[in-house]
Amino acid sequence: MNILETCMVSKTYQVQNSTIKAVDEVSLSIKAGEFVALVGPSGSGKTTMLAMLAGLLTPSGGSIVINGQPLERMSDSQRTRFRRQNIGFTFQSSNLVPYLSVLENVELMLKVNGRDGRQERQQARDLLVKLGLGDRLNSKPSQLSGGQQQRVAIARSIIHNPDIVLADEPTASLDTERAIQVVSVFAELIHARRLAGVMVTHDLRMCRYVDRVIQMQDGRIRQVLSSRAEIDALAATAD
């Protein structure tokens, strides 16, 4: 079943007297356990698309349906609650709360959803251990490397068991080795938990870990690569 579906989704921005079509009638669908990369040149509409999928930005046209529920039919408060429960996201800057520890940053997402019982808090610890951060639970974000911070951000985006996880350039500030570590862990979690995952990346090498690549250009889908051979060939062009 498709967890996420968009039908002819568009977003236009008005800048002074001109109209920019940032996303232009994009239709796509993503199944449970499927990890998709959104790639394309700067300005092609990737971040705008992701923000709409996250329910953070309202489309100018078209429809976004998550778990059978159209986002556009929800009131603002319904959408906010729906987003908290069903969607997790990670951004380029990891957006961790600086004065909270690693564990507290992840537990915060449980608190926001009113699910911070003993068992859930143990799951937060277990997830951080799995992500190789077992000895950093009480560290502050500033005491961590960029890769460690991104892994905390991934733990935070996934701890409340969303059905969808979205990441915008999660490896932008990392060297290749750390980037591979972060994306491979992310892929593993998406596959193991049967989530729908979308990652925006400008680093085509990271496509090795995804199941499908959607290339955008000028707000539209230019090409979709679905076979392992095609995707790996694309990734190899960046080596």
Provide CB contacts within 8 A for 47, sequence distance 6+. Answer: 168, 200
Residue span 17-36 as binding mask against ligand ADP, x where in contact by CB under 6 A, dash where not: ---x-x--------------
Give the end-to-end CA distance of the chain in Å, rounded to a whole number.
35
| Chain CA centroid to CA 107, Å | 19
Told to check if 202 binds ligand ADP by CB under 6 A, we report no
Residue 157 touches which of ligand ADP, Mg ion, none (Cβ within 5-8 Å per kind): none
Q: Which is nearer to Mg ion, 159 or 206 (CB)?
A: 206
Structure tokens at 148: 């460690």
Beta-bridge mates of residue 4: 30, 66
C-alpha 4/C-alpha 191 separation (Å) is 16
Q: Which is nearer to Mg ion, 30 or 200 (CB)?
A: 200
Told to check if 189 binds ligand ADP by CB under 6 A, we report no
Residue span 33-72 as binding mask against ligand ADP, x where in contact by CB under 6 A, dash where not: -------x-xxxxxxx------------------------
Residue 56 C-beta-side C-alpha neighbours within 13 Å: 12
Structure tokens at 55: 């329910």
Q: Which is nearer to ligand ADP, 181 or 215 (CB)?
A: 215
Site for Mg ion in 37-76 (CB under 5 A): 46-47
Tokens 């980037």 -> residue: 179
Told to check if 99 binds ligand ADP by CB under 6 A, we report no
C-alpha 5/C-alpha 67 separation (Å) is 9
Task: Tell me the closest approach of the beta carbon of residue 229 to ligand ADP, in angstroms.
Answer: 26
Binding residues (CB under 5 A) for Mg ion: these are: 46-47
Binding residues (CB under 6 A) for ligand ADP: these are: 13, 15, 20, 22, 40, 42-48
